Structure 1
Protein backbone atom coordinates (compact mmCIF):
# COMPACT_ATOMS: atom_id res chain seq x y z
CA UNK A 1 0.00 0.00 0.00
CA UNK A 2 2.67 2.47 -1.07
CA UNK A 3 0.04 5.19 -1.63
CA UNK A 4 -1.48 4.88 1.84
CA UNK A 5 -2.70 8.32 3.03
CA UNK A 6 -1.97 9.79 -0.40
CA UNK A 7 -4.53 11.85 -2.28
CA UNK A 8 -4.26 11.36 -6.02
CA UNK A 9 -5.67 13.64 -8.71
CA UNK A 10 -6.00 12.03 -12.15
CA UNK A 11 -6.64 14.53 -14.91
CA UNK A 12 -8.47 12.68 -17.67
CA UNK A 13 -9.49 9.90 -15.32
CA UNK A 14 -12.79 8.76 -16.81
CA UNK A 15 -11.37 6.44 -19.49
CA UNK A 16 -8.30 4.94 -21.07
CA UNK A 17 -4.93 5.33 -19.38
CA UNK A 18 -6.30 7.86 -16.88
CA UNK A 19 -8.96 5.42 -15.71
CA UNK A 20 -6.35 2.69 -15.30
CA UNK A 21 -4.13 5.01 -13.24
CA UNK A 22 -7.04 6.01 -11.01
CA UNK A 23 -7.87 2.37 -10.29
CA UNK A 24 -4.23 1.39 -9.80
CA UNK A 25 -3.76 4.30 -7.40
CA UNK A 26 -6.77 3.19 -5.37
CA UNK A 27 -5.43 -0.37 -5.24
CA UNK A 28 -2.23 1.04 -3.78
CA UNK A 29 -4.14 2.86 -1.03
CA UNK A 30 -4.78 6.36 -2.40
CA UNK A 31 -7.97 8.34 -2.21
CA UNK A 32 -8.65 9.50 -5.76
CA UNK A 33 -10.15 12.50 -7.52
CA UNK A 34 -10.69 12.36 -11.27
CA UNK A 35 -11.15 15.31 -13.58
CA UNK A 36 -13.14 14.68 -16.75
CA UNK A 37 -14.59 16.82 -19.53
CA UNK A 38 -17.86 15.30 -20.68
CA UNK A 39 -18.25 11.56 -20.03
CA UNK A 40 -20.24 11.69 -16.79
CA UNK A 41 -21.47 8.09 -16.95
CA UNK A 42 -17.96 6.76 -17.41
CA UNK A 43 -16.70 9.00 -14.62
CA UNK A 44 -19.37 7.65 -12.27
CA UNK A 45 -18.37 4.08 -13.14
CA UNK A 46 -14.77 4.88 -12.20
CA UNK A 47 -15.91 6.34 -8.87
CA UNK A 48 -17.87 3.20 -8.08
CA UNK A 49 -14.86 1.02 -8.90
CA UNK A 50 -12.60 3.10 -6.64
CA UNK A 51 -15.07 3.01 -3.76
CA UNK A 52 -15.37 -0.74 -4.16
CA UNK A 53 -11.68 -0.87 -3.26
CA UNK A 54 -12.42 0.94 0.01
CA UNK A 55 -11.06 4.33 -1.01
CA UNK A 56 -12.67 7.75 -1.17
CA UNK A 57 -13.44 9.01 -4.66
CA UNK A 58 -14.67 12.25 -6.19
CA UNK A 59 -15.16 13.45 -9.77
CA UNK A 60 -15.00 17.03 -11.01
CA UNK A 61 -15.82 18.29 -14.48
CA UNK A 62 -13.94 20.90 -16.51
CA UNK A 63 -12.68 21.69 -19.99
CA UNK A 64 -8.89 21.83 -19.68
CA UNK A 65 -8.73 24.53 -22.34
CA UNK A 66 -10.48 26.88 -19.87
CA UNK A 67 -8.02 27.96 -17.18
CA UNK A 68 -10.53 29.26 -14.64
CA UNK A 69 -12.80 26.23 -14.91
CA UNK A 70 -9.84 23.88 -14.53
CA UNK A 71 -8.60 25.75 -11.46
CA UNK A 72 -12.05 25.71 -9.84
CA UNK A 73 -12.45 21.98 -10.48
CA UNK A 74 -9.05 21.07 -9.05
CA UNK A 75 -9.61 23.27 -6.02
CA UNK A 76 -12.93 21.51 -5.46
CA UNK A 77 -11.25 18.11 -5.75
CA UNK A 78 -8.59 19.11 -3.23
CA UNK A 79 -11.21 20.35 -0.80
CA UNK A 80 -13.20 17.14 -1.10
CA UNK A 81 -10.16 14.93 -0.41
CA UNK A 82 -8.55 17.20 2.16
CA UNK A 83 -5.65 18.11 -0.11
CA UNK A 84 -3.60 16.63 -2.94
CA UNK A 85 -0.23 14.90 -2.82
CA UNK A 86 -0.06 13.13 -6.20
CA UNK A 87 -1.10 14.23 -9.66
CA UNK A 88 -1.27 12.21 -12.86
CA UNK A 89 -2.04 14.11 -16.04
CA UNK A 90 -3.46 11.68 -18.59
CA UNK A 91 -5.82 13.89 -20.59
CA UNK A 92 -5.47 14.56 -24.28
CA UNK A 93 -7.34 15.69 -27.36
CA UNK A 94 -8.28 13.65 -30.40
CA UNK A 95 -6.08 14.96 -33.16
CA UNK A 96 -6.59 15.38 -36.88
CA UNK A 97 -4.22 13.18 -38.85
CA UNK A 98 -3.14 15.63 -41.54
CA UNK A 99 0.01 17.18 -42.91
CA UNK A 100 1.08 20.64 -41.78
CA UNK A 101 0.06 22.02 -45.18
CA UNK A 102 -3.40 20.45 -44.97
CA UNK A 103 -4.22 20.94 -41.30
CA UNK A 104 -6.60 23.72 -40.42
CA UNK A 105 -5.25 26.37 -38.02
CA UNK A 106 -8.48 26.01 -36.05
CA UNK A 107 -7.88 22.30 -35.43
CA UNK A 108 -4.24 22.96 -34.58
CA UNK A 109 -5.25 25.57 -32.01
CA UNK A 110 -7.95 23.36 -30.47
CA UNK A 111 -5.53 20.49 -29.99
CA UNK A 112 -2.80 22.65 -28.45
CA UNK A 113 -5.38 24.33 -26.19
CA UNK A 114 -6.30 20.98 -24.63
CA UNK A 115 -3.08 18.95 -24.84
CA UNK A 116 -0.44 21.55 -23.98
CA UNK A 117 -2.26 24.55 -22.52
CA UNK A 118 -4.51 22.16 -20.59
CA UNK A 119 -1.50 20.51 -18.97
CA UNK A 120 -0.24 23.92 -17.88
CA UNK A 121 -3.66 24.86 -16.50
CA UNK A 122 -3.80 21.64 -14.47
CA UNK A 123 -0.26 22.02 -13.13
CA UNK A 124 -0.82 25.67 -12.28
CA UNK A 125 -3.89 24.75 -10.22
CA UNK A 126 -2.52 21.59 -8.57
CA UNK A 127 0.99 22.69 -7.54
CA UNK A 128 -0.15 24.93 -4.64
CA UNK A 129 -1.97 21.94 -3.14
CA UNK A 130 1.09 19.71 -3.47
CA UNK A 131 3.14 22.43 -1.78
CA UNK A 132 0.66 22.48 1.08
CA UNK A 133 1.13 18.71 1.38
CA UNK A 134 4.87 19.39 1.91
CA UNK A 135 5.82 17.45 -1.17
CA UNK A 136 4.47 14.96 -3.64
CA UNK A 137 4.80 13.72 -7.19
CA UNK A 138 3.55 14.71 -10.63
CA UNK A 139 3.43 12.32 -13.58
CA UNK A 140 2.40 13.44 -17.06
CA UNK A 141 1.51 10.95 -19.76
CA UNK A 142 3.36 11.95 -22.90
CA UNK A 143 3.89 10.12 -26.17
CA UNK A 144 6.80 8.81 -28.19
CA UNK A 145 5.33 11.02 -30.93
CA UNK A 146 7.47 13.79 -29.46
CA UNK A 147 10.61 11.87 -30.47
CA UNK A 148 9.36 10.03 -33.57
CA UNK A 149 7.86 13.07 -35.30
CA UNK A 150 5.68 10.99 -37.61
CA UNK A 151 4.25 12.51 -40.76
CA UNK A 152 0.69 13.83 -40.32
CA UNK A 153 1.12 14.06 -36.55
CA UNK A 154 2.52 17.55 -36.07
CA UNK A 155 -0.06 18.26 -33.35
CA UNK A 156 0.89 15.28 -31.23
CA UNK A 157 4.63 15.74 -31.68
CA UNK A 158 4.57 19.45 -30.86
CA UNK A 159 2.13 19.22 -27.95
CA UNK A 160 3.86 16.32 -26.22
CA UNK A 161 7.32 17.82 -26.72
CA UNK A 162 5.92 20.90 -25.00
CA UNK A 163 4.47 18.82 -22.16
CA UNK A 164 7.83 17.13 -21.60
CA UNK A 165 9.63 20.48 -21.49
CA UNK A 166 6.99 21.84 -19.11
CA UNK A 167 7.49 18.85 -16.80
CA UNK A 168 11.26 19.31 -16.76
CA UNK A 169 10.91 22.98 -15.87
CA UNK A 170 8.38 22.12 -13.17
CA UNK A 171 10.79 19.53 -11.73
CA UNK A 172 13.51 22.14 -11.47
CA UNK A 173 11.23 24.76 -9.93
CA UNK A 174 9.41 22.57 -7.44
CA UNK A 175 12.24 20.36 -6.15
CA UNK A 176 12.82 22.78 -3.26
CA UNK A 177 9.22 22.14 -2.21
CA UNK A 178 9.77 18.38 -2.20
CA UNK A 179 7.75 17.88 -5.39
CA UNK A 180 9.00 15.53 -8.09
CA UNK A 181 7.83 15.79 -11.71
CA UNK A 182 8.34 13.23 -14.47
CA UNK A 183 6.77 12.19 -17.75
CA UNK A 184 5.96 8.79 -19.21
CA UNK A 185 6.14 8.76 -23.01
CA UNK A 186 4.01 5.87 -24.18
CA UNK A 187 3.72 4.12 -27.49
CA UNK A 188 0.60 2.59 -28.95
CA UNK A 189 -1.77 1.59 -26.17
CA UNK A 190 -5.23 0.00 -26.18
CA UNK A 191 -7.30 3.20 -25.96
CA UNK A 192 -9.80 5.16 -28.03
CA UNK A 193 -6.97 7.37 -29.29
CA UNK A 194 -5.04 4.38 -30.60
CA UNK A 195 -8.14 3.20 -32.40
CA UNK A 196 -8.46 6.63 -34.01
CA UNK A 197 -4.92 6.27 -35.30
CA UNK A 198 -5.59 2.77 -36.60
CA UNK A 199 -8.68 4.03 -38.41
CA UNK A 200 -6.62 6.80 -40.03
CA UNK A 201 -3.82 4.45 -41.06
CA UNK A 202 -5.99 1.61 -42.31
CA UNK A 203 -5.69 -2.11 -41.45
CA UNK A 204 -2.63 -2.91 -43.56
CA UNK A 205 -0.53 -0.03 -42.27
CA UNK A 206 -1.69 -0.64 -38.70
CA UNK A 207 -0.70 -4.30 -38.88
CA UNK A 208 2.69 -3.39 -40.33
CA UNK A 209 3.34 -0.86 -37.55
CA UNK A 210 2.42 -3.34 -34.81
CA UNK A 211 4.57 -6.03 -36.39
CA UNK A 212 7.46 -3.56 -36.42
CA UNK A 213 7.32 -3.14 -32.64
CA UNK A 214 9.96 -5.49 -31.17
CA UNK A 215 7.40 -6.95 -28.72
CA UNK A 216 4.94 -7.19 -31.67
CA UNK A 217 1.95 -5.89 -29.73
CA UNK A 218 0.66 -2.68 -28.21
CA UNK A 219 0.48 -1.91 -24.50
CA UNK A 220 -2.52 -2.27 -22.25
CA UNK A 221 -3.70 0.69 -20.21
CA UNK A 222 -3.01 -1.35 -17.07
CA UNK A 223 0.64 -1.80 -18.05
CA UNK A 224 0.99 1.95 -18.45
CA UNK A 225 -0.75 2.56 -15.12
CA UNK A 226 1.63 0.22 -13.31
CA UNK A 227 4.68 2.13 -14.51
CA UNK A 228 3.01 5.47 -13.84
CA UNK A 229 2.30 4.53 -10.23
CA UNK A 230 5.84 3.20 -9.84
CA UNK A 231 7.23 6.57 -10.99
CA UNK A 232 5.00 8.44 -8.54
CA UNK A 233 5.74 6.02 -5.71
CA UNK A 234 8.40 5.87 -2.98
CA UNK A 235 10.65 3.52 -4.95
CA UNK A 236 11.34 6.45 -7.30
CA UNK A 237 11.86 9.07 -4.59
CA UNK A 238 15.08 10.28 -6.28
CA UNK A 239 13.64 10.43 -9.79
CA UNK A 240 12.67 13.84 -11.14
CA UNK A 241 12.85 15.78 -14.39
CA UNK A 242 12.93 12.59 -16.46
CA UNK A 243 11.01 11.25 -19.46
CA UNK A 244 10.72 7.46 -19.53
CA UNK A 245 9.72 5.74 -22.75
CA UNK A 246 7.28 2.83 -22.52
CA UNK A 247 6.85 1.64 -26.09
CA UNK A 248 7.69 -2.03 -26.42
CA UNK A 249 10.91 -0.98 -28.16
CA UNK A 250 9.15 0.91 -30.97
CA UNK A 251 11.63 3.80 -31.06
CA UNK A 252 14.72 1.62 -31.24
CA UNK A 253 13.14 -0.35 -34.07
CA UNK A 254 13.15 2.78 -36.24
Structure 2
Protein backbone atom coordinates (compact mmCIF):
# COMPACT_ATOMS: atom_id res chain seq x y z
CA UNK A 1 0.00 0.00 0.00
CA UNK A 2 2.41 2.64 -1.25
CA UNK A 3 2.04 6.36 -0.62
CA UNK A 4 5.55 7.03 -1.90
CA UNK A 5 6.07 10.63 -2.93
CA UNK A 6 2.78 11.86 -1.47
CA UNK A 7 2.24 14.50 1.19
CA UNK A 8 -0.33 14.05 3.96
CA UNK A 9 -1.85 16.51 6.41
CA UNK A 10 -3.38 14.80 9.44
CA UNK A 11 -5.27 17.02 11.85
CA UNK A 12 -5.10 16.23 15.54
CA UNK A 13 -2.19 13.86 15.00
CA UNK A 14 -0.01 14.44 18.02
CA UNK A 15 -1.65 11.57 19.90
CA UNK A 16 -4.12 8.71 19.63
CA UNK A 17 -5.76 7.79 16.34
CA UNK A 18 -4.22 10.73 14.51
CA UNK A 19 -0.70 9.77 15.55
CA UNK A 20 -1.26 6.16 14.44
CA UNK A 21 -2.52 7.39 11.06
CA UNK A 22 0.43 9.75 10.62
CA UNK A 23 2.91 6.96 11.37
CA UNK A 24 1.14 4.48 9.09
CA UNK A 25 1.18 6.89 6.16
CA UNK A 26 4.86 7.59 6.78
CA UNK A 27 5.56 3.85 6.82
CA UNK A 28 3.92 3.70 3.39
CA UNK A 29 6.20 6.44 2.06
CA UNK A 30 4.35 9.71 2.64
CA UNK A 31 5.77 12.89 4.11
CA UNK A 32 3.45 14.07 6.88
CA UNK A 33 2.34 17.37 8.39
CA UNK A 34 1.36 16.78 12.00
CA UNK A 35 -1.31 19.20 13.17
CA UNK A 36 -1.88 19.90 16.86
CA UNK A 37 -3.90 22.40 18.84
CA UNK A 38 -2.04 22.73 22.16
CA UNK A 39 0.24 19.76 22.91
CA UNK A 40 3.43 20.78 21.13
CA UNK A 41 5.46 18.11 22.94
CA UNK A 42 3.28 15.26 21.69
CA UNK A 43 3.40 16.65 18.14
CA UNK A 44 7.19 16.88 18.31
CA UNK A 45 7.36 13.24 19.42
CA UNK A 46 5.20 12.20 16.45
CA UNK A 47 7.40 14.19 14.09
CA UNK A 48 10.51 12.51 15.51
CA UNK A 49 8.93 9.07 15.06
CA UNK A 50 8.11 9.87 11.42
CA UNK A 51 11.62 11.10 10.76
CA UNK A 52 13.01 7.86 12.19
CA UNK A 53 11.08 6.12 9.41
CA UNK A 54 13.06 8.16 6.89
CA UNK A 55 10.24 10.52 5.91
CA UNK A 56 9.98 14.29 6.21
CA UNK A 57 7.65 15.64 8.88
CA UNK A 58 6.42 19.00 10.08
CA UNK A 59 4.54 19.97 13.23
CA UNK A 60 2.06 22.76 12.61
CA UNK A 61 -0.10 24.35 15.28
CA UNK A 62 -3.68 25.27 14.41
CA UNK A 63 -7.07 25.06 16.05
CA UNK A 64 -9.14 23.68 13.19
CA UNK A 65 -12.24 25.62 14.21
CA UNK A 66 -10.39 28.83 13.30
CA UNK A 67 -10.43 29.78 9.61
CA UNK A 68 -7.37 31.98 10.12
CA UNK A 69 -5.45 29.14 11.76
CA UNK A 70 -6.45 26.77 8.98
CA UNK A 71 -5.34 29.17 6.26
CA UNK A 72 -1.99 29.64 7.96
CA UNK A 73 -1.58 25.88 8.44
CA UNK A 74 -2.34 24.89 4.86
CA UNK A 75 -0.14 27.66 3.45
CA UNK A 76 2.72 26.54 5.72
CA UNK A 77 2.42 22.88 4.67
CA UNK A 78 2.35 23.76 0.97
CA UNK A 79 5.30 26.14 1.38
CA UNK A 80 7.26 23.37 3.11
CA UNK A 81 6.29 20.34 1.00
CA UNK A 82 5.05 21.87 -2.26
CA UNK A 83 1.60 20.29 -2.30
CA UNK A 84 -0.93 18.21 -0.34
CA UNK A 85 -2.16 14.85 -1.67
CA UNK A 86 -3.86 13.41 1.42
CA UNK A 87 -5.95 15.11 4.08
CA UNK A 88 -7.19 13.25 7.13
CA UNK A 89 -9.73 15.26 9.10
CA UNK A 90 -9.21 13.60 12.46
CA UNK A 91 -9.21 16.47 14.99
CA UNK A 92 -12.03 16.15 17.47
CA UNK A 93 -13.23 16.74 21.00
CA UNK A 94 -15.73 14.93 23.21
CA UNK A 95 -19.06 16.24 24.40
CA UNK A 96 -20.13 16.06 28.05
CA UNK A 97 -22.76 13.39 27.56
CA UNK A 98 -25.71 15.45 28.76
CA UNK A 99 -29.27 15.27 27.53
CA UNK A 100 -30.37 18.00 25.13
CA UNK A 101 -32.36 19.72 27.88
CA UNK A 102 -29.17 20.10 29.94
CA UNK A 103 -26.67 20.93 27.18
CA UNK A 104 -24.94 24.29 27.24
CA UNK A 105 -25.26 26.01 23.83
CA UNK A 106 -21.56 26.88 23.93
CA UNK A 107 -20.69 23.19 24.07
CA UNK A 108 -22.82 22.45 21.03
CA UNK A 109 -21.15 25.23 19.05
CA UNK A 110 -17.66 24.16 20.15
CA UNK A 111 -18.14 20.49 19.23
CA UNK A 112 -19.79 21.28 15.89
CA UNK A 113 -17.08 23.80 15.03
CA UNK A 114 -14.26 21.36 15.73
CA UNK A 115 -15.61 18.24 14.02
CA UNK A 116 -17.70 19.54 11.13
CA UNK A 117 -16.93 23.18 10.42
CA UNK A 118 -13.19 22.70 10.89
CA UNK A 119 -13.19 19.78 8.45
CA UNK A 120 -15.06 21.94 5.94
CA UNK A 121 -12.53 24.76 6.31
CA UNK A 122 -9.46 22.55 5.89
CA UNK A 123 -10.97 20.53 3.03
CA UNK A 124 -11.83 23.72 1.14
CA UNK A 125 -8.32 25.06 1.60
CA UNK A 126 -6.48 21.94 0.37
CA UNK A 127 -8.62 21.39 -2.73
CA UNK A 128 -6.68 23.71 -5.08
CA UNK A 129 -3.47 21.82 -4.35
CA UNK A 130 -5.14 18.41 -4.59
CA UNK A 131 -6.73 19.25 -7.93
CA UNK A 132 -3.25 19.85 -9.38
CA UNK A 133 -2.05 16.39 -8.32
CA UNK A 134 -2.54 13.01 -10.06
CA UNK A 135 -4.73 11.89 -7.18
CA UNK A 136 -6.17 13.36 -4.00
CA UNK A 137 -7.64 11.67 -0.92
CA UNK A 138 -9.70 13.15 1.90
CA UNK A 139 -10.57 10.91 4.84
CA UNK A 140 -13.05 11.99 7.50
CA UNK A 141 -12.68 10.27 10.87
CA UNK A 142 -16.23 9.94 12.15
CA UNK A 143 -17.70 7.54 14.72
CA UNK A 144 -20.17 4.68 15.01
CA UNK A 145 -22.05 7.08 17.30
CA UNK A 146 -23.75 8.23 14.10
CA UNK A 147 -25.22 4.74 13.68
CA UNK A 148 -26.98 4.46 17.02
CA UNK A 149 -27.64 8.06 18.12
CA UNK A 150 -27.62 7.11 21.79
CA UNK A 151 -29.14 9.50 24.33
CA UNK A 152 -26.84 11.96 26.01
CA UNK A 153 -24.58 12.73 23.09
CA UNK A 154 -26.39 15.08 20.74
CA UNK A 155 -23.52 17.58 20.15
CA UNK A 156 -21.11 14.79 19.24
CA UNK A 157 -23.48 12.74 17.07
CA UNK A 158 -24.79 15.87 15.36
CA UNK A 159 -21.22 16.91 14.57
CA UNK A 160 -20.26 13.50 13.21
CA UNK A 161 -23.44 13.28 11.10
CA UNK A 162 -22.61 16.69 9.62
CA UNK A 163 -19.03 15.55 8.98
CA UNK A 164 -20.33 12.54 7.05
CA UNK A 165 -22.71 14.74 5.05
CA UNK A 166 -19.71 16.86 4.08
CA UNK A 167 -17.80 13.76 2.97
CA UNK A 168 -20.57 12.33 0.81
CA UNK A 169 -21.23 15.69 -0.83
CA UNK A 170 -17.55 16.37 -1.44
CA UNK A 171 -17.04 12.90 -2.93
CA UNK A 172 -19.54 13.76 -5.68
CA UNK A 173 -18.21 17.26 -6.23
CA UNK A 174 -14.55 16.26 -6.56
CA UNK A 175 -14.71 12.87 -8.30
CA UNK A 176 -14.03 14.41 -11.72
CA UNK A 177 -10.94 16.05 -10.23
CA UNK A 178 -9.47 12.69 -9.22
CA UNK A 179 -10.15 13.22 -5.52
CA UNK A 180 -11.56 10.39 -3.40
CA UNK A 181 -13.44 11.21 -0.21
CA UNK A 182 -14.29 8.50 2.33
CA UNK A 183 -15.34 8.14 5.96
CA UNK A 184 -13.75 5.92 8.60
CA UNK A 185 -15.94 5.46 11.69
CA UNK A 186 -14.34 3.86 14.75
CA UNK A 187 -16.15 2.37 17.69
CA UNK A 188 -14.51 2.47 21.12
CA UNK A 189 -10.74 2.82 20.67
CA UNK A 190 -7.96 2.50 23.24
CA UNK A 191 -6.96 6.16 23.31
CA UNK A 192 -6.92 8.86 25.99
CA UNK A 193 -10.41 9.91 24.92
CA UNK A 194 -11.63 6.31 24.87
CA UNK A 195 -10.27 5.64 28.34
CA UNK A 196 -11.91 8.78 29.71
CA UNK A 197 -15.22 7.75 28.15
CA UNK A 198 -15.06 4.27 29.67
CA UNK A 199 -14.26 5.68 33.10
CA UNK A 200 -17.09 8.21 32.90
CA UNK A 201 -19.69 5.69 31.73
CA UNK A 202 -18.68 2.56 33.65
CA UNK A 203 -16.24 3.65 36.34
CA UNK A 204 -13.64 1.23 34.91
CA UNK A 205 -10.16 2.76 34.99
CA UNK A 206 -8.40 0.05 32.95
CA UNK A 207 -9.89 -0.18 29.45
CA UNK A 208 -8.18 -3.54 28.96
CA UNK A 209 -10.74 -5.05 31.34
CA UNK A 210 -13.18 -4.74 28.41
CA UNK A 211 -11.08 -7.00 26.17
CA UNK A 212 -12.79 -10.25 27.18
CA UNK A 213 -16.23 -9.09 26.06
CA UNK A 214 -15.03 -7.16 22.99
CA UNK A 215 -15.06 -8.45 19.39
CA UNK A 216 -12.05 -10.67 18.69
CA UNK A 217 -11.09 -10.49 22.35
CA UNK A 218 -9.79 -6.93 22.50
CA UNK A 219 -10.76 -3.29 22.33
CA UNK A 220 -10.05 -1.58 19.01
CA UNK A 221 -6.57 -0.10 18.71
CA UNK A 222 -5.54 3.14 16.95
CA UNK A 223 -3.60 1.03 14.47
CA UNK A 224 -6.85 -0.67 13.37
CA UNK A 225 -8.16 2.71 12.25
CA UNK A 226 -4.84 3.66 10.68
CA UNK A 227 -4.80 0.46 8.63
CA UNK A 228 -8.15 1.32 7.07
CA UNK A 229 -6.96 4.82 6.24
CA UNK A 230 -3.76 3.59 4.64
CA UNK A 231 -5.81 1.19 2.51
CA UNK A 232 -8.28 3.85 1.37
CA UNK A 233 -5.50 6.18 0.18
CA UNK A 234 -3.57 3.36 -1.52
CA UNK A 235 -3.58 2.31 -5.19
CA UNK A 236 -5.61 -0.74 -4.16
CA UNK A 237 -8.53 1.55 -3.32
CA UNK A 238 -8.43 3.85 -6.33
CA UNK A 239 -12.04 2.97 -7.27
CA UNK A 240 -13.53 3.68 -3.83
CA UNK A 241 -15.12 7.01 -2.95
CA UNK A 242 -18.14 8.24 -1.03
CA UNK A 243 -18.09 5.27 1.34
CA UNK A 244 -18.25 4.86 5.11
CA UNK A 245 -16.19 2.14 6.76
CA UNK A 246 -17.39 1.22 10.27
CA UNK A 247 -14.53 -0.16 12.36
CA UNK A 248 -16.21 -1.74 15.37
CA UNK A 249 -15.41 -5.43 14.99
CA UNK A 250 -18.96 -6.23 13.86
CA UNK A 251 -20.34 -5.29 17.27
CA UNK A 252 -24.08 -4.79 17.48
CA UNK A 253 -23.61 -2.50 20.50
CA UNK A 254 -23.18 0.75 18.62
CA UNK A 255 -26.00 2.77 20.10
The answer, yes or no, to whether TM exceeds 0.5 is yes
Alpha-carbon distance in structure 2 between the residues aligned to 1:64 and 1:81: 20
**How far did residue 217 of structure 1 move?**
2.8
Q: Unaligned stretches of 5+ in structure 2?
A: none
Partner of residue 249, structure 1 = 250
- Residue by residue over 1:155-175, the C-alpha shift from the partner in whole angstroms, topping out at 9 and shown as x without a partner, is 221111111110010100000
Q: 1:208 to 1:159 in 2, by over 3 A?
A: farther
1:217-228 mapped onto 2 (5 Å cutoff): 217-228=218-229
Q: Unaligned stretches of 5+ in structure 1?
A: none
The range that moved more, 180-189 or 78-87, is 78-87
The range that moved more, 193-202 or 179-188, is 193-202
- Residue by residue over 1:96-155, the C-alpha shift from the partner in whole angstroms, topping out at 9 and shown as x without a partner, is 111111111111111111111111111111111111224211111110001111111112
1:1-254 mapped onto 2 (5 Å cutoff): 2-203=2-203, 213-251=214-252
User: Residue 252 of structure 2 aligns to a residue in which SS?
Assistant: helix
Contact 1:212 1:250 in 2 (8 A): no
Contact 2:88 2:141 in 1 (8 A): yes
**How far did residue 214 of structure 1 move?**
3.7
Alpha-carbon distance in structure 1 between the residues aligned to 2:152 and 2:73: 34
Contact 1:97 1:200 in 2 (8 A): no
Contact 2:107 2:155 in 1 (8 A): no
**How far did residue 251 of structure 1 move?**
3.3
Please list every run of at least 4 consecutive aligned residues from structure 1 whose deviation after the TM superposition is greater than 4 angstroms. Answer: 206-213
**How far did residue 252 of structure 1 move?**
6.6
Equivalent pairs, count = 254
Q: 1:200 to 1:253 in 2, by over 3 A?
A: closer
Alpha-carbon distance in structure 2 between the residues aligned to 1:209 and 1:45: 29
**How far did residue 210 of structure 1 move?**
6.6
Alpha-carbon distance in structure 1 between the residues aligned to 2:135 and 2:231: 17
Contact 1:212 1:253 in 2 (8 A): no
